[in-house]
Homo-oligomer: A and B are copies of this chain.
Amino acid sequence: MARGRPPSHTRDQVVDAAVAIADAEGLAAVTMRRVATEIGAGAMSLYTYVPTRDFLIDLMVDRVGGTAAQVELTGDWRADLLAIAGSQRALMLAHPWLPSALPNRRLTGRNTLAYLERGLAALAPTGLGGATRMELIALVTGFVASFVTSELSAGVPQVAEPVSPAEFPHLTAAFAEGGPVREPTFERLADWMITGLVTQARDHSASS
């Protein structure tokens, strides 16, 4: 068996190289030619391992998803989901391109599926339906992505032009203040978010 010319590389090598580039220089730097030269191959050789660039990004998302800290489920859905959210946050902080890569992705990889499965299992004690639990997971993930994006862009002056104090008094005052310390806030915000989401979802399904 194993006829034909043997591959010089593996799909995993390609994905790893792509992740390394994205970690160092952002998603935009992940071009087919760049990844190819990084592993010492011709540009077109990549297509042996990966059908398109878009699919490569799917694989990258799934790859780093597999490196997330595994959460032991305790049966306490609040604690479990909070731990999952924390794990997600750590993942996104380690791979800053992840939040921007997440939207519009197909949920195709095994690690992503395992993540969803885990979230669904964590929410099982709530008694909510599967579809509702799925949406809650999407909302929590979206929240974490939002939060991390906000964390990563902290300190960067977002406004180029100076704002007119007369026209935008609150804005002017807010910019005059120093940046707040965000570090200890995430757990409390996430905990409350999760609790509130589930509570609302329960009320809603009970009343309809």
Contact = CB atoms under 8 A, between A and B. Distances in A.
Given A117-B168, A121-B170, A143-B143, A177 B108 contact: no
Contacts of A193: 193, 196
Interface in A174-189: 174-182, 184-185, 188-189
A42 interface: no
A146 B144 CA distance: 10
Contact of A192 (B150, B167, B188, B200): B200
A203 interface: yes
A131 B178 CA distance: 7
Contact of A171 (B99, B116, B149, B179): B116
Chain A facing B: main interface SS: helix
Interface string A159-176: 111010001111101111
Nearest to A137: B174
Interface in A124-164: 124, 129-135, 138-139, 142-143, 145-147, 149-150, 158-161, 163
27 contacts: A99-B103, A107-B159, A108-B159, A108-B161, A113-B159, A117-B167, A117-B169, A117-B170, A117-B171, A124-B170, A129-B177, A129-B180, A130-B174, A131-B174, A131-B177, A132-B180, A133-B170, A133-B174, A139-B143, A139-B189, A142-B143, A142-B147, A143-B143, A146-B146, A192-B196, A193-B193, A193-B196
